[in-house]
Structure formats: structure tokens, C-alpha cells
Amino acid sequence: MTIAVRYYTRSGNTKKLADAVASAVSAESKDITCPLDEKVDILFLGCSYYAFDVDEAVKKFIIENKDNIGKIVCIGTSAMMRSMKKPVRKVADAVGVTVADEEFHCRGEFAKIHKGRPNEKDLAGVSAFAKSVVDQEG
Ligand SMILES: Cc1cc2nc3c(=O)[nH]c(=O)nc-3n(C[C@H](O)[C@H](O)[C@H](O)COP(=O)(O)O)c2cc1C
């Protein structure tokens, strides 16, 4: 099974999740300026909300790499929203890419709220989540 990890981050929160996932499933964690150079079964995609949407760069990445994505599994650290599936699916559905129902989401530090998040517990949680996703796929 081929696995890739990509993330978009502005202040480092989502990168922390992506790095933890990569180390849990023995993959490399790269930002979304790195295209997928081969077809992957699972793409762990780290992204979060900014002004009620994902960044345009995330949308562009999905569209440009659609032929190499088997399935997207979202991981995110938005401060208020609790899921990234809606904005990711909006783009992915339009280009025929599947977004898994399962995802990992935890709080991310933003201004004065959620200090220190994601924390060690969040990182342990996302690591366990990623392993279970990969184990399920067999
Ligand atoms: C300009 C800006 C806008 C944001 N808008 C939202 C939002 O609409 N909803 C939300 O839940 N979080 C929002 N956040 C919080 C971020 O999603 C959160 O801090 C996240 O952890 C940032 O991840 P990053 O460090 O990987 O960029 C916003 C943060 C910034 C800087």
C-alpha cells in the first residue's frame, strides 16, 4: 500500500499532526508545494480553516494531483470548526476524488485560545488514528 502525507500550514499547528502521522506510518511529511509523483492509496491531507474555508493552495493541490490520489484522509487543527471534510469534499467531489468518512481533528492554537494545541495527547491521538486507518486498509 502506498501512503503520502501532505500538509498546508500557516503557524505550524497542522504540520505537527502531519509529522506525527508520517512517523506513525513510516511515510514522509511534506508540504503541499510537493506534488505527488506516484499514485497513492491513501493521502493524509493536513489542512485547517482560515476565514471559513481551506486555503486556495489546498484546493489547487487536490485538483492538480487528482489522478494520483486514491483516497484523502483529512487531518486538521481548526480552532473553532471540528471537521475539514466539508470544504475538502467540495473540491474533491468535483474532480472525482474520494474523501474518507474517518478523519482526525483536534484544536489548534489560535490567537489566545487553545494554547499549546496540538499537544502531546493530540499527537498520540493522531498517530493511533493513522495506524488504524492503515491497518484497516490491510
Ligand atoms: C487568518 C486566520 C483565520 C482563521 N479562521 C478560522 C475559521 O474560520 N475557523 C476556524 O475554526 N479556525 C480558524 N482559524 C484558526 C486556525 O484554523 C487554527 O489556528 C489552525 O490550527 C491553524 O493551523 P496552522 O498553524 O497549521 O496554520 C483561523 C486562523 C487564522 C490565522
Among protein residues, the one with the nearest Cα to ligand 1's atom 23 is 13
Q: Is the pLDDT of residue 56 over 80?
A: yes
Q: How far apart are CA 113 and CA 63, in angstroms?
A: 33
Residue 59 lies in a domain: yes
pTM here is 0.98
In a domain, 134, yes or no: no
The stretches of the chain forming alpha helices (DSSP H) are: 13-24, 56-64, 85-94, 120-137
Question: Does a structural domain hold residue 136?
Answer: no
Q: Could you tell me if residue 135 is inside a domain?
A: no
Is 77 a residue whose pLDDT tops 90?
A: yes
Q: How far is the CA of 138 from the centre of ligand 1 (A)?
A: 34
At 122 the pLDDT is 98
Residue 96 domain flag: yes
Using the predicted structure, report yes or no on whether residue 22 has a pLDDT greater than 80: yes
- Measured CA to CA, the distance from residue 62 to residue 12 in angstroms comes to 21
- Give residue 57's pLDDT: 98
Q: Which atom of ligand 1 approaches the CA of 47 most closely?
A: 26
Residue 63 within any structural domain of the chain: yes
How high is the pLDDT of residue 107? 97
84 falls within a domain:
yes
Q: For the segment 83-137, what is each residue's pLDDT rounded down to a tens digit?
A: 999 999 999 999 999 999 999 999 999 999 999 999 999 999 999 999 999 999 8
Range of the domain at 60: 3-127
Mean pLDDT confidence for 50-73: 98
| Residues with a CB atom less than 6 Å from ligand 1 | 9-14, 48-52, 77-81, 108, 110
Q: Is the pLDDT of residue 29 over 90?
A: yes
Q: How many domains does the chain have?
A: 1
Q: Would you say residue 138 lies in a domain?
A: no
Across 36-47, average pLDDT: 98
Whole-angstrom distance, CA of residue 108 vs CA of residue 40: 27
The CATH number given to whatever domain includes residue 37 is 3.40.50.360
Q: Which atom of ligand 1 is nearest to the CA of 12?
A: 25
